[in-house]
Amino acid sequence: MKSIKTIAKEYALTTRTLRYYEELGILKPTRPHNGMRHYSKREEAKIKLIIRGKKYGFSMEEIKEMILLFDLDRTGIKQLERTIEYGQQKLREIDQKIQELYEIRQDIERTEAIFREKLILLLEDQS
């Protein structure tokens, strides 16, 4: 069991962020008689999943759903199925963004070529 300060330091999070995850119902630290939050290995695993989910661009609602599905189905099947669904959706979004960026790149390259031609003509006119 680790304290909120220890967890916050280990994962470069603020204690406020950890309390927010608790408010959302994702984390459920224990509170012994002194009222201090303590995080089990299970809660720590959830924190790692939250961090990974945020890194991959998932919303907190999506992260919450994926994490809490394990509580509903201890086999982990539903959690894995939903995580795969969200992952496939995220990959489609990434592919779309890549395509958009590629099109922007092509447009910039075309515009740059036109500007280079204009610059060459202007420089020739000055000579």
Percent of the chain that is helix, strand, coil (3-state, to 5): 75, 5, 20
pLDDT value at residue 32: 82
Residue 35 has a pLDDT of 84
One digit per residue, the tens of pLDDT, for the chain of length 127 reads 999 999 999 999 999 999 999 999 999 999 988 889 999 999 999 999 999 999 999 999 999 999 998 888 888 899 899 999 999 999 999 999 999 999 999 999 999 999 999 999 999 989 7
pLDDT number for residue 73: 83
pLDDT score at 71: 81
Per-residue pLDDT, 72: 84
Give kind and range of the element (H or E) at residue 31.
none
Model pLDDT, residue 33: 81
Spatial CB neighbours of 102, under 8 Å, sequence gap ≥ 6: none
Tokens matching residue 18: 């950890």
Closest CA relative to residue 83, chosen from 104, 101, 56: 56
